[in-house]
Structure 1
């Protein structure tokens, strides 16, 4: 790998076009065989399971997916411009840059928000490794990270899911700033260029949901990675009650 080669950005070049996005995102229905041999209950289960797997990429869905991919591509172009800069920030710490405004993918229950997020994961390159030069070992190369806020409803718990086990000690304490910095550094080392946080409705069920949602969303925004939050309308209503500095984001309705 040459010093000026940007393999971090190159991995996105094949998935920027709408036609390729649709091709990778689509999941056609498959025939269900031998349903007559199943019990009614199990046949219904198989049909429901298969229907959940079907995904037809509409023009609007493709445009939303393209927008997210372009953000990931732009992030890799700017943050990984060359190998010396990458290694310098790995050793010296991340440059003092402004966090990204998060995107919120919202809509009524059952409209396919989670399926759109899964389609985005299918489109983007699979995790691999990269060796920046002959003096360093291979390191992970991860285009997108996905975290489901289902069982981990606090910011420290979410951060721990985004780092390898060897780094969990750096994010398990009570110092939020240090935990976020450790997690942000690991995402940078791994080349993470997009973060998807789903199942946010599980936070919104608690009595102090507004504060907890704000803590999780703001904390993830400070990982310095383009972020897509997926949640229903109740999430938006709760966020609108927060102070102005916590309400700035770009919203997409599905």
Structure 2
């Protein structure tokens, strides 16, 4: 058997090579001050969306999945005889799928895109049993959006929507799928966006996932928390198959190097359009987004609109605070506040299941999140107490030297109107008769009927 085919995944397992291959660092932005503010904000958003700096979890997940694919590939190509036998008599092997889950916008799909970049490219394979060469592929990828059943998934993705296949049942389609997977050397199946399956019912999702698992390949399905909560309500035989291999993508800790690297890359890409210290932006951005990178991109976009509305070219810390309180970010700000509340009160009632992790988290991870949330709350309380203790002159001085942001500083108290002077009884009587005289009627009142 061709050694190159058996070892085609071996060169993909080095972490440094994975990081170098998947990292995306866009070109810095051009000068945006001469462009319409809303268009300039869109340009900034597109550049920030293209950033991908893999964190430790993503790198380890990519290497693990490639390792599983490598084991499957080596088992498939042990010998030419075994390879041919698995084509004509594909074994019925069920492998439990890996569930990659996390908050919406945390970067799951970007990690899957990075995984596909590292997978070995298609290659030609010559076997004495066939005439000519066969093109081997490393993985199958499919978005579950719009799929309504496991049969449709096999027809559309694995079998290429064959008309003849529509008349067959799922059992025959599975046999053909296993045969084709072995023929083309497919070693990994990726099912993305499972929360968007047509109908989004747990029964349909379970049918599709179990159908993919029955092909016998290592399978990854990507889902938000909301779908996993639905699967958790299934019977034990389904949960044991679908939720036994969870991989939970959590937000980066605000003091971690991964989060600092991401914020640093955002500053570099913005090319001078962010005038905030690295430490301040790292803390404020995490506080306002809970470490969700999709929200970080939107917040910086809204902060740039705020800075241009104020007649400036670059974002400062006050712009980030205003963007957090803007109407465009209001729905996300409520989610962020709910996530922070859940960190402080993990035993609160089961509301907002789309924001609550369906699996038990490690104790050390919980302690890190809670400590940051408590520290952030204490800092806010201290800042509020300090601000309330300032008098008008001290507050203006703090604002002048930049230690108190303009949107946080209280407006100076308005001067009270002078008290009404007291009048004597004679003056009050005189004023009364003056008012009565001014109200005298010029015509006689009508007699009542």
TM-score (norm 2): 0.51
Name the one with the larger strand percent. Answer: 1
Q: Secondary structure at the match of 1:129?
A: strand
Distance 1:232 1:24, change over 3 A: same
Q: 1:226 aligns with which of 218, 232, 254?
A: 218
1:181 to 1:233, Cα distance in 2 relative to 1, 3 A: same
Structure 1 residues not aligned, in runs of 5+:
none
Does residue 116 of the first structure (1) align with residue 91 of the second (2)?
no
d(CA) in 2 for partners of 1:114, 1:44: 24
Aligned residues: 246
Which residue of 25, 30, 37 maps to 1:28?
A: 25
Partner of 2:53: 56
Which residues of structure 2 form unaligned runs of 5+?
250-449
**C-alpha displacement of 1:41:** 4.1
Q: RCO greater where, 1 or 2, for CA within 8 Å and sep 6 or more?
A: 1
Q: Cα distance 1:40–1:173, how it changes in 2: closer, same or farther (>3 A)?
A: farther
Please name the residue that 2:121 is paired with.
Answer: 126
Q: Which stretch shifts more, 139-148 or 213-222?
A: 139-148
Stretch of structure 1 that moved more, 145-154 or 32-41: 32-41
1:243 is matched with: 235
Shift of residue 238 of structure 1? 1.0
Of residues 174, 184, 193 in structure 2, which corresponds to 1:199? 193
Q: Deviations along 1:41-70, whole A, 9 cap, x unmatched?
A: 443333323322211111221111111010
Show the counterpart of 1:190: 184
2:140 to 134, 145, 154: 145
- Residue in structure 1 matched with residue 317 of structure 2 by the alignment: none
State which of 10, 21, 46 in structure 2 corresponds to 1:13: 10
- Does the Cα contact within 8 Å between 1:171 and 1:180 map onto a contact in 2? no
Residue in structure 2 matched with residue 106 of structure 1 by the alignment: 101
Structure whose residues are more often helix by fraction: 2
Q: Structure 1 residues 170, 129: CA separation in 2 closer, same or farther (over 3 Å shift)?
A: farther
CA distance in structure 1 between the partners assigned to 2:36 and 2:173 by the alignment: 51
What root-mean-square deviation, in Å, do the aligned CA atoms of Structure 1 and Structure 2 show? 2.1
Give a deviation string over 1:181-204, Cα, whole Å, max 9, x none: 21221122111111110011112x
Q: Evaluate the alpha carbon distance shift between residue 44 and residue 133 of structure 1 in structure 2; reply closer, same or farther with a 3 A threshold.
A: farther
Which deviates further from its counterpart, 243-252 or 155-164? 155-164
Please report how far the alpha carbon of residue 141 of structure 1 lies from its aligned counterpart in structure 2 after TM superposition.
1.0
When normalised by structure 1's length, the TM-score is 0.88
